[in-house]
Amino acid sequence: MKDIVSKLTFGFLMAQFVPGAIVVYSISFAYVTFTGSVPQAISVAASQALDVWMSPLRQVFIFVALATGAGMAIHGLHWAVLGFLESHYAEDTENEGRRLKPVAETFWHDKMLILQILLGPIKIVLEVLALLFLGRNIRQIAIEENVWEIDKSKMEAFQFLEEFYLHFAQFYAHTSYALVGLFLSVTVSTLLSPGLAFGAGCVVALTAIWVVSGFFFIISRIQLASLFKAERAMCRASERASDE
């Protein structure tokens, strides 16, 4: 029962539904502003975008279904990006053969943390574009799992690591992706739509969305780096145990 509640709360609601809801809301925001004929403040447009799904009840169910689908799509995209980065930046070594590149060692992650946060949304877009235009085939993009290397005696600890780090990393990563979509929606609406009046509110909203997206993105990479480091240590411990 505890495992089910954990997976529902952290694995679905946080990691899938919340990011998906942001994506659906972003589309609703653009719809409200582009169909409006009178420029209005961003706070009014934001409220109207939310009202689109609040009634009748069938609208709520449609929103939940769309948010779930969007969240799953983000999950798949993010996982594909991780697999692509590990493979694309892999290095050939004399002792270990082909060494996959940890995502924490990809471009811009060696910069000052505040710069990584500010550059985070740009890195998200660049990584997705790299996946789409530089990814050669599905086999290259697939992530190489290491669960088969874990000794059975350490499987409980391995599952703890997965639940503790992975769900939170996915929540932060998926939400950062969704916030990039929201940023684009608000930006396009601000520049092109007749139903949104440009003002200080737009600037504040865009700045907040950008910074939070970058912050969540970097936090997700820290979580993933911690997870992968712990997994590698566990694999080495399992290998030593099997040799003995």
Q: What distance in Å separates the CA atoms of residue 241 and residue 218, rounded to the nearest whole number?
A: 35
Q: How far is CA 193 from CA 41, 44, 103, 207, in A?
A: 12, 14, 38, 19
Lookup: tokens for 235: 């694999």
Domain boundaries, the chain: 2-243
pTM (2 d.p.): 0.85
pLDDT digits (tens, 9 = 90+) for 148-172: 555 565 566 666 666 667 888 889 9
Crossing angle for the helix pair 167-192 and 57-88, to the nearest 10 degrees: 110
Crossing angle for the helix pair 167-192 and 18-35, to the nearest 10 degrees: 10
Lookup: tokens for 166: 């992975």
Sign of CA dihedral 26, 215, 217, 11: negative
pLDDT digits (tens, 9 = 90+) for 212-221: 999 999 999 9
